[in-house]
Amino acid sequence: MPEPEPSAIHRATINAVCQSEWEAHKSDCSGFVKAVAAALGINLAGQANAIIDTMGRMPWAQLGTDMGAAARYARLDYLVIAGLKESAHGHLAVVVPSVPPLPLKGYWGSLGRIGQQDTKLSLSWRAEILPSVQYFAIKPPSQ
């Protein structure tokens, strides 16, 4: 996969959007991801599993399970979503740029609980399933 190109969006934008949307969606991972995406000019619909299906197609870049690629795209101001489909309800999180780039950090809501903000992504999934998490990236339109 080719290296991503830098975007025109300021580095703080995705973090700021996550911070502004987190309180309203801290108990709903798909609602949180949809709100962040909408604020960046990207339309997503449905619950986590449906959103993962959408991100599996163009114009989304499918990064597979490559955490390093997810970190690179996040540092270049792409909207990077971590997702894992599950039989009843999947789960999603927004990956945000961090220093150092690994471990990945992100924001997420959590159905029936309170999610986390600007926290190690490894806390969003059980350790044994974290290697199965898929990463997707899209360049938000210039704002």
Based on the residue annotation, tell me whether 10 is a catalytic residue of this protein.
no
Report CA-CA distances (Å) from 104 to 2, 72, 118.
21, 10, 10
* Residue 82 near residue 115 (C-beta atoms within 8 A): no
> Active-site residue 91, yes or no?
yes
Q: Where are the beta strands (DSSP E) in the chain?
A: 61-64, 79-84, 91-96, 105-110, 113-120, 134-138
Residues that are catalytic: 29, 91
